[in-house]
Amino acid sequence: MQACCKGGELPERAGAAETEQRDGAERRSRGTEQRNGAERRSRETEQRDGAERWSREMEQRDGAERRSREMEEERRNQKEEEIKLLTQNADQVHNLSLQELTQQTDKEKAQFKKEEKKGRRKEVKNMLKKDRKEVEKMLKKDRKEEEEREKKVKNEKREKEQLKRQKKEKELMEKKEKGRK
């Protein structure tokens, strides 16, 4: 009879079992390595995809910011153009009104000369004096109204300051009374 090895097996079978165990361990090890390699490649692919996605998002955000700045610049330019046009229109209106006033003054001067020639100069002077007096009265009235408004404002300020002082004094008195208690 042949000598027994571990567990009562025959020696050649024991070597075969060890070989099978080694082969199985190697296969499991290769399978684990393959799984680990596949997982590593999968993680690397996910990281690369994440980096690409982040890069695309940043490009989109940069593009949106650039478009926003361009739109803001365009709005600013439009507003400046509108202001320029409004200023030009205002200048034109002002120039037209100055022309009308100049023409009216020229007509009045011509009329004055005509009336002067006809001997109505004295009447015109009296009319001008009368008009001047009316204007002076109006100016005097306006000055009085302005002075009254200023006095009113000064009185209101003085009253406010007086109320503030009274309030402060009252608060001080209350603090003193609290301090005594």
Output the tens digit of pLDDT for each of the chain's 181 residues.
444 445 555 556 667 778 888 887 788 888 788 888 888 888 889 888 888 889 888 888 888 888 989 999 999 999 999 999 999 988 898 888 889 888 988 888 888 888 777 766 677 788 889 989 999 999 999 999 999 999 999 999 999 999 999 999 999 888 888 887 6
Distance of CA 11 to the CA centre of its chain: 91
Cα 111 from Cα 96, distance rounded (Å): 22
pLDDT recorded at residue 60 = 87
Retrieve residue 81's tokens: 């153009």
Tell me if 121 sits within 8 A of 115, measured CB to CB. Answer: yes
Rounded Cα distance between 170 and 86, Å, is 57
124, 116 Cβ separation under 8 angstroms: yes
Cβ proximity of 45 and 36 under 8 Å: no
- Please give the pLDDT value at position 72: 94
pTM of the model: 0.30
How would you class 14 by CB atoms within 10 Å of its CB: exposed for 0-12, middle for 13-18, buried for 19 or more? middle
Q: State residue 12's pLDDT score.
A: 61
> Tell me, what's the pLDDT at 1?
42
